[in-house]
Structures are given as C-alpha cells and as structure tokens.
Amino acid sequence: MDNNDNINNINLNLFRYFIASVESNSFAEAGEKLGYSATNVSTSVSTLEKQLGVQLFTRKPLKPTDIGMEIYEAIKNGLANFDFAYVIAQSKNDLEYGKISIGCPSHITDFFLMEKVANAIKDYPNLQVNLDTESGSKELIQSLKDNKIDFIVLDTIPEEDKKDIDIKEIKEVEYVFVSKEKIHIEKLKDLEKYKYILTYDNRVSNIKLFEVLKKNNISIKPILRCPTTEQRINAARLGIGIAYVMKDAVQDELDNNELYEVEIPVKLPRNDLKIVYLKNHLTKVDKQFINNYLMK
C-alpha cells in the first residue's frame, strides 16, 4: 500500500481533532470544543501522526510543528467546506422542510429574533430551528467556524474575532441609561453623582460609552458589573443604580413605567444588529430566512 492509499483511508474526523488542537492551547481545551475528553483527542492526534508518518505537534507545551502548521493551513478551509456540504444536505435546502441553527444572545433573541422565528414557523410548520442563546460571542463565533451553527445575530463583535467572517448589518439599535426613578440631568457633570450598573470594560458597548464620556470630561464608576442585559435591567428594577442597556431590550419596562429612561444632554452611542456568517457558508434555507424575515 502506497502513501496515497494511506491518506485515502484516513478518517476525516482525525483531521477535525487535529484542527481543534492547533486552534487550542491543550488537548483538554480542544476536547471541550469538540465535546470529547483530552485523552480521546490526544489518542486521535497520535493515530493521525502514525498514519501520516510525521510529527504534527510537540507536547508540553502543545505546539504544532512546522509541518503540522503547513498541513493545518492546507486543510482547514477544505475540511470546513466538506462539513458545510453536510449542513446543506441536512437543511434539505428548502424552508418548507429545512433546518436552521442560529446563535444569538438571549436579550437580542427576546426583543428581536424570537418574533422572526415565530413568523417563519407559522409560514413553514415543518421548519426546524435550533437556537444557542447561552454562549458568549467568542463561543458563538467558534461554533460558527466549526459549522455547529449556520449564522449568528450579534450587536457587538470583538475586533480580533472579525477575521474569516462576513458581517451584514440589519438594524440600528440605541443605547440608553435607565433607572427605577425618573431622573432628568441638565448638566453633564451631574452624571458623576449617580451609581451605575455596567457590563465589563472590554465590551464594545462599554468602550464606546466611555469614549463619549471622556470627550465631555465625565468620569463614572460602576457600583455593579453584570455581563448580561437581563441582569442589568433587573438590577435597575431593584433600585441598585442606573443601568446602561440597549433600548429595544428594555422597551417593555419603559412602556409599563417599571423603569424610566434617564434624560441627559448628550447623545449616547448607537450600534447595529449584525448577521455574522462564514463566507460562502450560507445555505439556501439560511438566505431565505434572512431575506424573508430578518431583513424585514
């Protein structure tokens, strides 16, 4: 049996273990991404090395060899395309009987996506939709690259995660300060007198907010940091402080006078909801759903 026969007989799953390992700091981390144990990943990589007849990694620390990196660069896109072919087959390429997997933070799902999904299922009762609303943006983007989800709906995307993905803007969103009590601020400096409920400093929404405040020589300090919009809204409802959130996500509370928009003499940053996907990796079903429901 020659080398070509060896390569033809290699299980494609071994390359998936290999790619995940290159993109991780350890076999354990690769295993978490794939849903397998570190031992399973390590054994699979060793099997691939034996079948290829080359060392793909140095261990402790785990690092791809030069030839390992060459193989990774050569196959990563090809394997992703192979996985995408399976996704197309599974989707049946028709909304009537198709399947869609969408990643979307819970607060965006609640005020935007769920209604779109409900309309699509009403029109196409056999359509199957899977939602991931619990993962963070980084985890969602990794799932996208692993072909575990078809596309993502996000408001903010870390700059370092924009490589290898396409982005389509679908809706402008407004950010506001909200409070349990009515507050009207006439002088910007008075913003410094209040307690704030913010997300983490490295979040894009926070960065943009502080850029605006800095231009106006305003400094605010959070009394509470919450990673999710729902937590910040609830904290404001409990009277802990003023929360900075997406207005659409808190519209029900504003309409019911559970919370009030803080009136301030400065324009706060706006953002966009975006569809995030891998280039050339949207099925016909994905495109139909996006065009017929998300873009309207």
Question: What tokens does 37 get?
Answer: 């144990």
Q: Specify the pLDDT at position 3.
A: 46
pLDDT digits (tens, 9 = 90+) for 118-176: 999 999 998 999 999 988 888 898 888 888 899 999 987 877 778 778 999 998 999 99
Q: What pLDDT does residue 248 have?
A: 92
**CA 204 → CA 33, 154, 222, 280, distances in Å?**
25, 12, 16, 27
Q: Tell me how far the alpha carbon of residue 273 is from its chain's centroid.
A: 12
Domains and CATH numbers, the chain: 3-90 (1.10.10.10), 91-172+273-294 (3.40.190.10), 173-270 (3.40.190.10)
**pLDDT, position 63:** 92
Dihedral sign for Cα atoms in the order 286, 291, 293, 295? positive
- Is the pLDDT assigned to residue 43 strictly greater than 70? yes
So what's the pLDDT on residue 80?
66
> Under DSSP, is residue 198 helix (H, G, I), strand (E, B) or coil?
strand
pLDDT at 254 over 90: yes
- The pLDDT of residue 2: 44
Over residues 161-173, the pLDDT tens digits come to: 787 789 999 989 9
**Tens of pLDDT, residues 179-228:** 999 999 999 999 999 999 999 887 878 888 999 999 999 999 899 999 88
